[in-house]
Structure 1
């Protein structure tokens, strides 16, 4: 016998229907060029994470991330998981990346409910890198950069600062390799 849902909850559709409605094979033809900024990320990645807490110490973890087309190919959603499953998670979050032709950039919305960590940013190409700038849930300025990008690897650098003019401080680095290239 299946477990009863809490009062007020109802089963609207099977999860397979949800995933079919959410996911897409790729971007619409008219958006292919703009979507390519992040489109190369589609697939699964293994990663090594380095955390810089600011006291001179360094912590290391392994992890995984997965990227896919969603919302009729008009957005890219990802999952960042640390450490690699099946170990208990210390980070399990998702980003939704949506291109906005009005600003010529991407709205980036990060959510990690496990750690109550949230951020909104705008992402754009800067030379060979992708740079996302915004604020985190504490009001600190956040800059996330995809650097050293190849078809099968990238270096992701997370930085923060309290105010304009302050130096950026590296908080996290992810060194990612495409899983099963």
Structure 2
């Protein structure tokens, strides 16, 4: 197992990845999260862990929401499109997204439904805010779920 981890995980971002497109670098580390669906008032407490992988040209994460969902995303920078190709998977489902910056936000758009988006609304050194949204016909954003995160550590 240690050989697999050593082959997968990178200590840092690859210098070939332009800093302009280093959207996810601030997320590297471990986070305590509160996940709140719009239809429920109670938050699910969990963890979200991010690491550089694949020679520092990609970021992989593991999200742990006990008794709800365990999932992983692989975000790979695409130098041809200047966007990030993203695959998120959990039991029985894989979702493909494309990530681009829109102002200060990182917007991940579902490649099968451009009205479905995952948005890192704000990323600071010690906290971030994420939303799962659906774009209505009138252009309004309907928030389906939100995550509020506090950093646990910078270590991977």
What is the TM-score with the length of structure 2 in the denominator? 0.88
Structure number with greater CO (CA < 8 Å, separation at least 6) is 2
| Contact 2:97-2:111 within 8 A present in 1 as well | yes
Q: CA deviation at 1:140?
A: 7.9
- Alignment-derived partner of residue 102 in structure 2: 126
Q: Which whole-Å CA distance do the structure 2 matches of 1:180 and 1:29 have between them?
A: 23
Change (3 A) 1:140 1:123: closer
- Alignment-derived partner of residue 29 in structure 2: 43
State whether structure 2 residue 128 is matched by structure 1 residue 154.
yes
Q: Report SS of the residue matched to 2:43.
A: strand
- Alignment-derived partner of residue 11 in structure 1: none
Structure with the higher fraction of residues in strand conformation:
2
Q: Which whole-Å CA distance do the structure 2 matches of 1:64 and 1:157 have between them?
A: 16
Q: Which whole-Å CA distance do the structure 2 matches of 1:180 and 1:98 have between them?
A: 23
State whether structure 2 residue 143 is matched by structure 1 residue 170.
yes
- Unaligned runs of 5+ residues in structure 1 are 1-14, 84-88
What is the TM-score with the length of structure 1 in the denominator? 0.76
Q: Which whole-Å CA distance do the structure 2 matches of 1:166 and 1:130 have between them?
A: 18
Q: CA deviation at 1:34?
A: 4.7
- Alignment-derived partner of residue 99 in structure 1: 77
Q: CA deviation at 1:127?
A: 1.1
Moved over 3 A (4+): 163-168
> Which is higher, the Rg of structure 1 or of structure 2?
1
